[in-house]
Amino acid sequence: MTIYMVQQTFSKPEWEAEWNEWYVGNMPVLMRVPGFITGQRFKSPFGSPPRYMAMYTVEAGVFESQFYLDSGGGGTNSQRFRPAYQVWIRNLLEGIPKAPAIMDDESLIVVDDTQKIWSHSELKINWLETTGFHKSTPLRGIAVAQKDQIDSLLKDNRITIYQPVSKQMGPLY
């Protein structure tokens, strides 16, 4: 399995509500594509870019499938919002069998690194190697944090803290 992360910063506030509504409707479209195993959407309430992220677990070859392409994969479904994408980063990552489900009272911690040097005594970090698409970072660490751990993490500018805006979905096919 592969972890697929899409990170975005949206630059047109007047379109943002419409874009978020569209995204809510598009996630089930992707989860109907054979090979999409999990999907969940996040937002960073702390203003650090990229502000939004979706994280999926996918099977190898899913992005070349006709079903994916016919479902608007690769950004064709979101074409009308493209002028508002200030940041649009897509990465494929290897290192864990499945994306963790982040509950409402938890946060996803994301750290981009080159040498796996970031650590936190209270968090179990999983290091993922970037293997495809934009390859914006060689390594990405992810960890699940509880609410009471967030204050100490806010001081670390090497990380992005994402809170879930949806529950983790499973396949709809």
Here the CATH number for the domain that contains residue 154 is 3.30.70.100
Q: Is residue 17 part of a domain?
A: yes
| pLDDT of 73 strictly over 80 | no
- Secondary structure (H, E, C), 17-38: HHHHHHHHHHHHHHHCCCCEEE
The tens digit of pLDDT for each residue in 22-53 reads 999 999 999 999 999 999 999 999 867 799 99
Side-chain half-sphere of 173: how many Cα atoms within 13 Å?
14
Q: Is residue 132 part of a domain?
A: yes
Q: Is residue 14 part of a domain?
A: yes
Q: Is residue 52 part of a domain?
A: yes
Q: Is residue 169 part of a domain?
A: no
Q: Is residue 171 part of a domain?
A: no
List phi, psi (to 5°) of 61.
85, -5
CB 1 within 8 A of CB 98: yes
Residue 40: burial class (beta carbons within 10 Å; 0-12, 13-18, 19+): buried
Q: Is residue 79 part of a domain?
A: yes
Q: Is residue 172 part of a domain?
A: no
Domain count, the chain: 1
154: its two tokens? 């806010």
Residue 1's pLDDT band (cuts 50, 70, 90): very high
pTM of the model: 0.94
Domain that holds residue 30: 2-164
